[in-house]
Amino acid sequence: MRPGAPPLFTHEVTLARAQAEEVIEGMLHTVLFFRLLGTLEPSTVELYGVELPHVLDAAIQKRVAESTAEILARTDEEVKHEGTALVDILVSWHEPAETPRSPSAPPTAQNRKPSSYPIFHSPYSWLASALAGGKSDARGGQARRVLTRDEALETLPEAFEQWLLSVRIVYEAAQRSLKPELSPFLCMCQADTVAALTFANEHQAQLPAVTDASLMPFPFSIGSTLRE
């Protein structure tokens, strides 16, 4: 991992263009679901034999749908509906607005409690501490073109954690000729959640307080790039 870079968790999936909208939306809902802290009515969506969590919140549903539509429209435009497109969708989590330090400043004794766990870029990166060893950095080594950039980035502080969904879209494939492998993705998210809860219980005295009682206390952004 690059020095100073936020932890990055990755998953790759191959699918036909006709499958892209429902699969990308399903994966985004799953990633967001496992970072929610508020109360939510349980809901799932079945995709290719796998039950994925679905966030029953109108604002989040609208944002996921609009982001997915924009990503696919830009991808279609770039590749002219031909061949294969390698799209990286990056979900970034940002520190709450009340964090008492500048976005670029490292944690100090004055702005966080003493910690017995490793800090990855930010004291809010405790999920990375729970999953230490499971992180990867797939951001380098290949040229990319920006497809979509979240307008929220103009006002959000630096990201403390990122999830990268690498989607290989095959335009010539028939809708049912490819079966997206979503079970490993769901299992990864479930295992991460159990590890995170265990870690949080063990280190709750040192973790930064979250005072926002809303469903989504951590602001997030969704962007995408197209690999050359």
pLDDT digit string (tens) for 77-90? 999 988 999 999 99
Confidence (pLDDT) at 154: 83
Q: Which tokens sit at 147?
A: 């497809």
Find the helix packing angle between 58-79 and 17-33, rounded to 10°: 140
Residues 115-142, mean pLDDT to the nearest whole number: 50
Residues 40-64, mean pLDDT to the nearest whole number: 88
Q: Which tokens sit at 139?
A: 């951001």
Residues 24-39, mean pLDDT to the nearest whole number: 84
Side chain identity, residue 151: E
Confidence (pLDDT) at 203: 58
Our CA angle for 61, 87, 219, nearest 5°, is 40
pTM above 0.85, yes or no: no
